[in-house]
Amino acid sequence: MNGASYSEFIKPKDIAINDQFWGAFMERVRTKVIPYQWKALNDKVPGAEPSYCIRNFKLAAELTRPELDYGVPRDIGFGGMVFQDSDLAKWIEAAAYSLVWHPDADLEKTLDETISIICHAQQDDGYLNTYYIINGLEKRFTNLKDNHELYCMGHFIEAAVAYYEARGKRELLDAMIRYVDCVDTHIGPEEGKLHGYPGHEIAEMALVRLYAVTGDEKHLRLAKYFIDQRGRSPLYFEEETGKNGNTFYWKDSYLKYQYYQAGKPVREQKEAEGHAVRAVYLYSGMADVARLTGDQELLSACKTLYANITKKQMYITGAIGQSAYGEAFSYDYDLPNDTVYAETCAAIGLAFFARRMASIEPRAEYADVLERTLFNSIISGMALDGESFFYVNPLEALPQASLKDRRMRHVKIERQKWFGCACCPPNLARIIASLGSYVHSSGPGTLYTHLYLGSEARLSLAGEDIKIKVETKYPWEGQIHISLGLKGKAAFSYGLRIPSWCGSFILKLNGKDAAYTLRDGYALLNREWQDGDSLDLSLDMPVNLIETNPHVRDNRAKLALTRGPLVYCLEEKDNGKELFRLHAGIPGDFKLNYEKDLLEGVYTISFTGKKEKDWQDDALYRNRTEDQYEERELKFIPYYAWANRGSGEMTVWLNK
């Protein structure tokens, strides 16, 4: 296939992160989330609903190879959700990344042993899904719509590639290649095959990732087929439902097949619809395939969907999926702050999509969103102690409403220990553990730095091995020092992202004002580079007051406060109850204060706002009088750090 020219993001193994801000998150993932999840997968968390995940694989292996005995009774049956396998895949993927930056022989041994069990469960024809191996293989591929076989396959492909890239081990990778072969014999355009595709997308982008490792066109072709076939008439899911007597939960909903983004061909989908995680996983796969095939129509569909999300359906925190109903997108400019769904996984999926679009075209609108999601709605999903998690990330929290208002029953005001449907914590683990792969990208003669975090990377460009060292106190400060290391000289264009929140910046090359071109949000320096060249980028990082497009009902006459990539919020802990009575007015000076002991060290922002006064009487309604305010010192903390000091009200948006 003919791929267009593009830049490719660096791989996790080619970058070492040494960053104050992100290092703490990565350590939480390594020391807390990965070990905790391993216990969960093995049903060893006291008081928690069992996962059954490892047990399912052991049982499947015993059934596949009767000579094996893992001690699991053979008549015990499958446990957990139909997609339970994917939990293990996500764990393997996150653990594999962690081995890159923190070798750990015990963990690697556990991985190898686990992979061995997984591979023992694999059927002779390559099939590998414990739900059907245990419940009966004759039913496999009969409910692609809801039974997550291809979803689990996708996650295992991601895990297999991650582990192969991390440690060079092929066992799981080879198993997945065989599994894809198996799927390929059953699903595809040829007569006699099922003309189906995944009910929950991810296989598309996973297959592209597999293709990058194997170079086998079959892998790209299957990804492309899943995308091209999706939503084509006659609708596969409709046929499958009728033929196999499957249930169709969304039949009477306005969502219908668009819950799965499968109601019309993907190139005709103009608005992000349906289950938000599914949607952005699909769009990520579409971007991957468009990138590799040069399919301009598909790329155009990606751009349309990306614009729809980011200009009409995205929260200021980068959260998406407004509606608890279907965990879904709802409609343009519908952005309720209190009843929002805003699943952590959906924000992660948006980061996937943005990264892929940035890979196709280095335009600030992509990396800006990538940064927005990472610094806000993604990491808000995890407590600062790494031990509890948000599935839903509201922009306004009201304890009494979460208790008594069923519109908000999905909105927890405290992070939860673990979930029955444990998708978010391991998804957080795998994106944070692979954060290095979001920093730089390079193509023929081009290098881009998209995110600023302390790191040392190496890549090959213009025939040279190049080291890129970044030093910064981002996101707290806007100074970024970049130094290059290379043996000879190399001519290439180096683009440094100038974030959209930054109104002015200074860029110096080797201590002197640099000559650069500003294009699409990147400062481009096109020159011959040599060892020791250094860049100093100073991003002006003021406090910004942000307002929302007037089409958005829920942010009418409201402001949010940001600094750099961070969105801030007000918590009851600092500002008392009834945050909705506070107004910004016209702030004078913002007081910026680094509080070392607060929330593991954050910059807080304060200014003098105002609060509407209590009335003198207890009337509920009265004739309009002049508004009465009292001055109030308002104190903001970064949004990602909310709900780490007990429960209480929180709001991102403040009345003007």
- Give catalytic residue positions: 327, 423
Query: Which residue, 243 or 406, has its beta carbon nearer to a copy of itself?
Result: 406
Q: Check binding of 70 to a copy of itself (CB under 8 A).
A: no
Q: Check binding of 311 to a copy of itself (CB under 8 A).
A: yes
Q: Check binding of 615 to a copy of itself (CB under 8 A).
A: yes
Q: Of residues 316, 423, 424, 466, which one binds a copy of itself by CB under 8 A?
A: 316
Residue 54: count of CB within 10 angstroms of its CB: 23
The minimum distance between CB 583 and a copy of itself, in angstroms, equals 8
Q: Check binding of 631 to a copy of itself (CB under 8 A).
A: no
Segment lying near a copy of itself (by CB under 8 A), choices 134-142, 151-159, 325-333, 344-352: 325-333
Going by C-alpha positions, the residue among 374, 418, 416 that lies closest to residue 26 is 374
The minimum distance between CB 335 and a copy of itself, in angstroms, equals 9
Query: Which residue, 296 or 400, has its beta carbon nearer to a copy of itself?
Result: 400
Segment lying near a copy of itself (by CB under 8 A), choices 30-38, 209-217, 241-249, 323-331: 323-331
Q: Check binding of 625 to a copy of itself (CB under 8 A).
A: yes
Q: Of residues 135, 544, 606, 647, which one binds a copy of itself by CB under 8 A?
A: 544
Please report which residue ranges of 270-409 form alpha helices under DSSP H: 276-293, 296-312, 344-360, 364-372, 399-404
What is the CA 534 to chain-centroid distance, rounded? Answer: 32
Query: Which residue, 330 or 446, has its beta carbon nearer to a copy of itself?
Result: 330
Place of tokens 């406060």: 561
Between CA 445 and CA 443 the distance in angstroms is: 6
Place of tokens 């791989």: 11
Q: Of residues 103, 254, 489, 510, which one binds a copy of itself by CB under 8 A?
A: 254
CB 480 within 8 A of CB 539: yes
Q: Pick out residues in 458-497 that bind a copy of itself (CB under 8 A).
A: none
Q: Check binding of 249 to a copy of itself (CB under 8 A).
A: no
Number of residues that bind a copy of itself (CB under 8 A): 54
How many CA atoms are closer than 13 Å to the CA of 369, on its beta-carbon side?
27
Tell me the three state secondary structure of residue 48. coil
Q: Check binding of 414 to a copy of itself (CB under 8 A).
A: no
Residue 232: count of CB within 10 angstroms of its CB: 15
Query: Which residue, 154 or 394, has its beta carbon nearer to a copy of itself?
Result: 394
CB 30 within 8 A of CB 321: no
Nearest-10 crossing angle of helices 34-41, 85-101 = 150
CA of 286: how far to CAs of 48, 409, 559, 589, in Å? Answer: 37, 34, 35, 46
Query: Which residue, 65 or 311, has its beta carbon nearer to a copy of itself?
Result: 311
Residue 489: count of CB within 10 angstroms of its CB: 13
The minimum distance between CB 499 and a copy of itself, in angstroms, equals 13
Q: Of residues 51, 310, 393, 644, which one binds a copy of itself by CB under 8 A?
A: 310
The minimum distance between CB 316 and a copy of itself, in angstroms, equals 6
Residues 6+ apart with CB under 8 A from 319: 340, 342, 346, 347, 373, 376, 377, 393, 395
The pair of structure tokens assigned to 637 is 């903390």
Furthest CA-CA distance within the chain: 84
Between CA 498 and CA 495 the distance in angstroms is: 9
The minimum distance between CB 106 and a copy of itself, in angstroms, equals 42
Segment lying near a copy of itself (by CB under 8 A), choices 67-75, 192-200, 321-329, 354-362: 321-329
The mark string for 552-581 relative to a copy of itself (x by CB under 8 A, - otherwise) is xx--xx-xx-----------------x-xx
CB 474 within 8 A of CB 480: yes
Going by C-alpha positions, the residue among 215, 159, 206 that lies closest to residue 183 is 206
Q: Check binding of 58 to a copy of itself (CB under 8 A).
A: no
Place of tokens 């080619």: 14
Chain positions contacting a copy of itself, by CB under 8 A: 254, 310-312, 314, 316, 323-325, 330-331, 334, 336, 339, 398, 400-401, 403-407, 544-553, 556-557, 559-560, 578, 580-581, 612-615, 618-625, 627, 655-656
